[in-house]
Amino acid sequence: MIQISFEISNEIHHLLLFCAHKLFNKKLAISITNTGKNFLNHISLDCVIFGFHEGELKVLSLFYESLKLHSLPGGFIGVNESLEEAAQVVLKERTGLDAIFLKQFQVFSDFERSKQNPLVEKITKSNTTINSDFFDQRFITVGFYALVEYTKVNPTPDFISDSCKWVSLNEKIDFILDHSKIINKALQSLREQLNSQPIGYNLLPDKFTMSELRVLYETILGKELDRRNFQRKIMSYNILNKLNERRKGGAHKSPFLFEFNLENYEKALNDGLQGGW
């Protein structure tokens, strides 16, 4: 691996960090004196952070006002850290949460994936000492998806994006590069997980109704589920505790609240569940 070390101004330092965290296009592993961190060549990561709110599945995105474009949170991998460690750093910085459920789901290696990057011109115009060729190298990216409880997240932009916000999967959103493809593949992987492992602990509040859990499953699967069959099946997995509490304030009869049995939930994650949806 070739590494370069050099002294840089704060302005160029920020631009190079922007390359590392947003563009995923650099030819050499660079040791930036200000950060003291070396990055691996030709590999990056992108995180699809799922949240569930008001009956909709959402993803956390970074937004660039001047370009009217979104991107996924992501970055590079340090030479002394694992992919998972690098992804957890990204998640912590964008959500403020620790110990997030995280799963690697696919590598994206299309030869043309990073050639048409709308952000390159913006950066090179802001500093003429940066050559656009710096951004034009091929990079493969490793996709992770994360599951978080919507109300606990503090969406935090980085220094180059204008905002960090939730967007619904039902919205038509313009993402940079192949990030829309990455999101679609993440959703496909999440649906596959739903057929063999439980989902919900990381997406729902601590206490929830059976209807709220069913709507979550329906939203992920993209189809309706029979109410009685769903309750009978989900209860057969022994991953729920029925509480002696009811949800108050609704127009109909107050439904009972449930919580996940964490011991059985973890066992189901490890051993798997029988039967799909």
What domains sit in the chain, N to C, each tagged with a CATH number? 3-194 (3.90.79.10), 208-271 (1.10.10.10)
What is the pLDDT at residue 16? 44
136 Cβ contact partners less than 8 Å away, ≥ 6 residues apart: 25, 114, 115, 120
Largest CA distance in the chain: 68
DSSP β-bridge partners for residue 147: 50, 101
Please check whether residue 20 is in contact with residue 28, taking contact to mean a CB–CB distance below 8 angstroms: no
pLDDT given for residue 119 in this prediction? 62
How many whole angstroms separate alpha carbon 90 and alpha carbon 4?
Answer: 24
The pLDDT score that the predictor gives to residue 160 is: 77
What's the confidence (pLDDT) of residue 120?
Answer: 63
Own/partner contacts of 192-196, CB < 8 Å, gap of 24 or more, are 193/103, 194/220, 194/221, 194/276, 194/277, 195/276, 195/277, 196/272, 196/273, 196/276
Which residues of the chain carry a pLDDT beneath 50? Answer: 1-37, 134
Q: Residue 255 has what pLDDT?
A: 92
